[in-house]
Amino acid sequence: MKRWGEIKDPLHGYIYITELEKDLIDTKPVQRLRRIKQLAGAYLTYIGAEHSRFGHVLGTMHIAGRIASHLSEKGLLDEDEVQKARIGGLLHDVGHGPFSHMFEEILDKYRHITHEDVTTWLIKESGLRDVLEGHGYSAGEISLLAVGRLQQGKPCLSQIMGSQFAADIMDFLPRDSYYTGAEYGKVDVHRLIDSLDVVNDSLAMDMTASYALEAYIIARYEMFKAVYFHRSVRAAQVMIIRAMDYANEYLGLTSYDTPDDYLRWDDSSIISALLGLSRSDAKLRIARDFAERFIERRLLKCAYEVTIHHRDPFFTNVFSREDYRRTIASEIAEESAVDEDYVIIDVPAAPSVPMRSIQGGPTEISVFQRKAGDEKVMRKFSDVSRLVDTLTGYVDVVRVYCPEDHREKVESVSENVLGRRPYSTKVTY
């Protein structure tokens, strides 16, 4: 691949790009990612977390290219497939809405789709298609490759974006760690990539890199607790989710028909629209109030929290139902004499372990052991690592948020409704 130029990245150094990649970067869908923060409202807690999806997709492109080049050196991919892997990494997040995963909850509620579904649609229907086809690539193929759903061709190519070893994860963990200042997301990406191979048509990791793989899994677990589901981070996020939910019909957030309809929304345009809502309608007034609280950092406070470590998804499945959470929240609000619109029960939308939400539940991490004659024998990493076996599953965090002046009363009522917390949960409150 002929280099067109380079982009300086604080995480990976110089990221070299081809002319095709430059043309894709210059499109409206990719440039819009500059205006969508990677971690939504986390910057209200971690002051350095101002980084955008744009930097992340460039980093993912770089990592995807490194993985693909490593496989190419083994004779498993050719140069054109390396370029495809890089394109997939670059475009994998173009479907994200404003405030990243926060908007995804609105998409799921009203259209029953994810940002990955929007990604495939945009690649096939926006200006991205013209650029790809102008350079001789199939927009349909790339749209599936970008989200790890490509079924044709070599499975390992799609797995670069859709597996436990996805380039996406290998970029966002160290990137989010760098910008938040949290040290937990640092992983030895180079060692992980150099230890990848293909066994039985699947990406797997050499057991000789087990220490790096353990650190990789622990990093995801610790970043979940310290950053992604930090109580103040989530306070900002549940507020903006509710604001977008209440304003969805009025603003037409999920009623888009064309790529331009969807691409007009980013973090700033959403906030501007929310702040301009009428105060005459009750729901719109609440949406505007939450937006004002968000930009002024007048966050809801966590009145109740319980963390449960277990492997049974039943608890998560029940509390993931919005109707159930709203019913319980209404009960708590009524007994606390608080407006029910300002009492929110929050649970993780995805398990903390394993790493990818699209997996839906714990899945095994594939590793292999080399035998005589270069035979590769597949193993389950949980059988090899007691540490990983212990972590695999869920960390369910249930929180109840409310305005600060009602915190004490809501805490008391929540304990009665949801069960009194162990004293240990209050020690570091």
CA–CA dist 206, 353 (Å, integer): 21
CA distance 84 to 195: 21
Distance from C-alpha of 186 to C-alpha of 172, rounded to nearest angstrom: 10
Q: Average of pLDDT values for 111-116?
A: 95
pTM > 0.85? yes
Host H or E run for residue 381: helix 381-384
Identity at 30, one-letter amino acid code: V
Mean pLDDT calculated for residue range 400-414? 97
Per-residue pLDDT at 428 exceeds 50:
no
Residue 205's nearest CA partner among 151, 159, 172 is: 159
- Give SS3 for 58: helix
Domain architecture of the chain: domains with CATH: 3-231 (1.10.3210.10)
Q: How far, in Å, CA of 50 to CA of 151, rounded?
A: 36
Q: Which of 84-88, 176-180, 307-311 has the lowest mean pLDDT?
A: 307-311
pLDDT at residue 347, as a whole number = 85
pLDDT of residue 429: 37
Q: What is the sign, positive or negative, of the torsion defined by CA atoms of 132, 133, 138, 144?
A: positive
Confidence at residue 314, expressed as pLDDT on a 0 to 100 scale: 64
Alpha-helical segments (H) within 256-368: 259-263, 267-275, 282-295, 314-319, 322-336
Q: How far apart are CA 118 and CA 132, in angstroms?
A: 17
| CA quadruple 263, 266, 269, 274: dihedral, nearest 10 | 110
| SS3 (DSSP) at 146 | coil
pLDDT for position 392? 62
DSSP-assigned letter for residue 420: P
Digit-coded pLDDT (tens) for 305-348: 987 765 555 666 667 788 889 999 999 999 999 999 999 999 87
Give the span between the Cα atoms of 93 and 101, in whole angstroms: 11
Residue-averaged pLDDT of the chain: 90
* Per-residue pLDDT at 418: 87
213 pLDDT band, cuts 50/70/90, is very high
pLDDT of residue 134: 98
pLDDT (tens digit per residue) in 187-199:
999 999 999 999 9
Residue 65 has pLDDT above 60, yes or no: yes
Q: Is residue 362's pLDDT more than 50?
A: no
Q: Per-residue pLDDT for 385 more than 90?
A: no
Contact 267, 244 (CB under 8 A): no
